[in-house]
Structure 1
Amino acid sequence: MKTIPERKYFRAIIFALFIMSPLWSVGQPSPQDTLRIMSFQGTVLDKWTREPVVFANVYIVGTNIGTVTNTDGGFMIKVPRRYLNRKLGIACLGYKNIEFPIHSLNPVGNRFEMEQAPIPIREVMIVQSDPVELIREAIDRIPENYSSEPVMMTSFYRETIMKNRTFVAVAEAVLETYKASYKPLAEGDRVRIYKGRKSEDLRRLDTVLLKFQGGPYTAFLLDVAKNKGNLLMPDFENFYNYSLVGNIEVDDRLAYVIEFDQKDGISFPLYKGKLFIDMDTHAFVGMEFSVSPKMIEHATPYFIVRKPAGMKIEVQDANYLVRYRLIDNTWYFSYVRAELRIRSRWRKKLFSSRYTIVSEMAVTDIDPGNVVRFRMRETTRLNDVLEDQVADFEDPGFWGEYNVIKPDESIEEAIEKLGRILRRRAD
């Protein structure tokens, strides 16, 4: 029997009325932080097309410290001075890895070019060519491919809301996570907010403020290797059609590319997308998926927790990206991004509003040695709203030595604009 999937595996959104909150500005390392760290900024481009290489892993070789490039290909990484003699590594799906000595980099303006990786001619499509069997083997090998013991993760999380073409809200946080093991029947992850900040322009939100519910916690739910949900459910082959379509290079390793979509006749929304499975370890190294267009018109109840009476809400699409990184022969959850587009219209009104909601999280450090299983009352949960848990800041050194995801140019402009609005209100 095909049962309806639980809503917690979909992106949860909550509508609330008449909520007020001020604004904040972007920060840089304080003078005290620069005694311990050095900050480097750069842009990663495709060598031939000159297009930005987005969501690439940027890391200090031989450590667990890293970040990702944004949609402009830009990044900023803060390097402890004890690691200045190491190399900076950059890896991205479909590209050859590159490394550069950190001491040769400039504080800003670094430009890196990556070459697309040609796939060597091998008989990789013949051996184990059944995609369902490949997925089953990848699921069976999860306990050996991913961490068998809990680790501590530090990560940077950001969520943004755009109304039509204007950013109206941004919230960010540094998260500490007790990342439970991938053993069968292992406990769940525990996520707590170390520090965070937010900004909003309520005038552009009319009478309705759109909020995320469970943002940081939901980011870890999208670790599909641990929380299989409706993507890797036990009888997954009954719900999806699969096709092995090729191979791609990931972190100087070859991976199978498996495309999938929900089967016809399924009466509730599932997913369409790609799975990337490492050829040697059979680990899931990445996923890219969306709510299937076949049932997107039925997806709205899975996303909207509450809305005002008289308002019609329509989810137009929901897209997800998940990445893992190999460190010392173990694969770790490293990056997740979710993007939701919805349209809203008040009854008896002619025009509608379009919202684009994006959340992303990059794991910036992993510590397997100092594991702390903090208390549940310290954690953020599925029904929490990040904007209600963090304050408003203007401290230019707010993030200190913590690595963050460098804002896209459009987000930086939005932050500056929201900051000007705050200053005018303060006057």
Structure 2
Amino acid sequence: MRVFKSSLIISFSLFFLTANAQNSDQFSGKIVDETNQSMPYVSLKIGSSISSMTNPDGDFSLRIPVGTTGQITVSCIGYQTLYIPIQQLSNPVTIKMKSAVSQLQEVKISALNGEAIIRKAVHNITQNYPVTAFESTGFYREIAKIDENYLSFAEASLQILNPGYQHNKEKDRIIINKERNLKRVGDRAVDNPFHAAVKGVPYVVLANDLLKNPGSIFGERYISKYNYTISGYTAVDGEEAYIIKFDQKTGINEALYQGSVIVIKKSFAIASIEISYSDKGRRFAKSDIAFLQRPLLMLLGYHFQKTNEMLSLRYTMNGDKWYPYFYKIATTHQVEAKRQKIAGELLVSAELFIRPVPAVKSDFSKKNIMPENYSFQQGVERYTDQYWKEFDYIKPEHTLKDLVDKQAAGKDIN
């Protein structure tokens, strides 16, 4: 069983708008570490129903209803959790986080080793994660490009019904709140020389939740194919956690993985997973992007060589259970077509940031569900933040924003 059901690309950033605090419910800023370096994918929460996270450049934006009181909880693995009263913050604001590693107590290991910790974590999944269905709302972005040339750029606001972390084959369900597929990114036209789309990518992202679908990482047939080591300790929301590093064993002729897993010491809950291809098996990698497998493309002279797969998963505590809040998957291929004068790196990636909804409120009947082979089709000419209006959206990272800023000012494309 492969980790990825197909391959993709996305560039995920964060909820970000600029406005005066007294006139708007959008709160924005930047999060940095002790050396003033930007911190990507930091979680921000107000209670259980308002949340966001920073983009790859450390920027964030949080939709806060006027009159909301309380505090913002800012958390990141390996750093002290901050609790900041809303009334004490300006807009925008820079938040500095401090490392929590020095605060960790010494952890003594007895019979546990890296593999034993992973096995215990897998065994405890139904104890640490919700086993009944829950709804989430989130923002999604998928991107495909060859080098700096965009083949596709799609975004969507989604409602998601997760069946829970129990041992069954029920799949996630998705409702589209709003979507768009860009025809231009800044001053560049979106041009797909393959004239084909990767379909059903949000479902692919959700299917790569390794706690529901262990695949070739945590599956029983695969655990013994890796070497696991305890490389250190860190903190997650004040709790001590193991840092488990893993890599495929020498002599296994498969394209398997290397990476790290953060496991809470007390409960053995998995807080994050980061994987990519192992150098030991990279040469066995095969393309698995659906449209790249079409024989017609090979007849036309296209050649694809997969170079990497990447997966990032993060979970957060809500009440007494852990819930997913961030998914990112990406694949890279070297692509060449002499006749079409194409040669470069094909990147396909997708990111999804979600937050749980207190109760299942949406109508997830069959007539409302996004088809599994769906590709986003609501075309718009240019990127503009105003498109989302009442919906939360994800701010593009700086490299994309530079392109957008080149377009004529004042255009509002709906």
TM tier, shorter chain?
0.7 to 0.9
148-157 or 111-120: which moved more?
111-120
- CA–CA separation in structure 1 for the residues paired with 2:210 and 2:353: 15
**SS class of match (1:212):** coil
- CA–CA separation in structure 1 for the residues paired with 2:285 and 2:301: 19
92-101 or 265-274: which moved more?
265-274
8 Å contact 2:49–2:356 — kept in the other structure?
yes
Matching residue of 1:412: 401
State how 1:41-80 maps to structure 2 within 5 Å: 41-47=28-34, 49-60=35-46, 62-80=47-65
Matching residue of 1:107: 91
Give deviations 1:98-118, integer Å, cap 9, x for gaps.
Answer: 12222233333x101011112
309-318 or 296-305: which moved more?
296-305
Distance 1:117 1:11, change over 3 A: farther
Determine which of 160, 163, 177 is the counterpart of 2:143: 160
Matching residue of 2:4: 9
1:91 maps to a residue whose letter is S
Matching residue of 2:379: 391
Report deviation, 1:133: 1.6
- CA–CA separation in structure 2 for the residues paired with 1:286 and 1:367: 21
TM-score, length-scaled by structure 1? 0.83
Matching residue of 2:81: 97
- CA–CA separation in structure 1 for the residues paired with 2:54 and 2:150: 20
**SS class of match (2:107):** coil
2:66 maps to a residue whose letter is R
Matching residue of 1:181: 164
1:86 maps to a residue whose letter is G
Report deviation, 1:170: 2.2
1:340 maps to a residue whose letter is T
Report deviation, 1:209: 4.9
Give deviations 1:194-247, integer Å, cap 9, x for gaps.
Answer: 111121348564733574332211221122112222221123333222111111
State how 1:364-403 maps to structure 2 within 5 Å: 365-372=355-362, 374-386=364-376, 388=377, 390-392=378-380, 397-403=386-392
Give deviations 1:267-312, integer Å, cap 9, x for gaps.
Answer: 3322211111111111111000012222323323223533523011
- CA–CA separation in structure 1 for the residues paired with 2:131 and 2:156: 27
Matching residue of 1:327: 318
Report deviation, 1:329: 1.5
Distance 1:28 1:245, change over 3 A: closer
Report deviation, 1:350: 7.5
8 Å contact 1:28–1:398 — kept in the other structure?
no
- CA–CA separation in structure 2 for the residues paired with 1:420 and 1:214: 33
Residue 290 (1) aligns with residue 279 (2): no
Determine which of 125, 131, 134 is the counterpart of 2:114: 131
Distance 1:415 1:128, change over 3 A: farther
State how 1:304-323 maps to structure 2 within 5 Å: 304-306=290-292, 308=297, 309-323=300-314
182-191 or 377-386: which moved more?
377-386
2:394 maps to a residue whose letter is I
1:370 maps to a residue whose letter is V
Determine which of 171, 176, 180 is the counterpart of 2:154: 171
Distance 1:27 1:96, change over 3 A: closer
State how 1:323-362 maps to structure 2 within 5 Å: 323-347=314-338, 352-362=343-353
**SS class of match (1:208):** coil
Report deviation, 1:336: 1.1
8 Å contact 1:27–1:396 — kept in the other structure?
no
Report deviation, 1:69: 0.6
Give deviations 1:76-114, integer Å, cap 9, x for gaps.
Answer: 1101235x2111121112111112222233333x10101
- CA–CA separation in structure 1 for the residues paired with 2:277 and 2:372: 20
Report deviation, 1:65: 2.0
1:193 maps to a residue whose letter is I
8 Å contact 2:183–2:381 — kept in the other structure?
no
Q: Which structure exhibits the higher relative contact order, with contacts defined as CA atoms closer than 8 Å and separated by 6 or more residues?
A: 1
Structure 2 unmatched ranges of 5 or more: 10-14
Matching residue of 1:17: none
**SS class of match (2:223):** helix
Matching residue of 2:71: 87
Determine which of 211, 223, 236 is the counterpart of 1:250: 236
1:277 maps to a residue whose letter is V
Give deviations 1:31-69, integer Å, cap 9, x for gaps.
Answer: xxx98x60011000012x211111111121x22321111
1:85 maps to a residue whose letter is T
Matching residue of 2:26: 39
Which runs of structure 1 show a deviation greater than 6 angstroms over 4 or more consecutive aligned residues?
A: 26-30, 348-351
1:259 maps to a residue whose letter is K
1:103 maps to a residue whose letter is Q
- CA–CA separation in structure 2 for the residues paired with 1:194 and 1:373: 12
8 Å contact 2:242–2:265 — kept in the other structure?
yes
Identity of aligned residues (%): 24
TM-score, length-scaled by structure 2? 0.85
**SS class of match (2:115):** helix
Distance 1:299 1:292, change over 3 A: same
Matching residue of 1:228: 214
**SS class of match (2:306):** strand
Report deviation, 1:405: 2.6
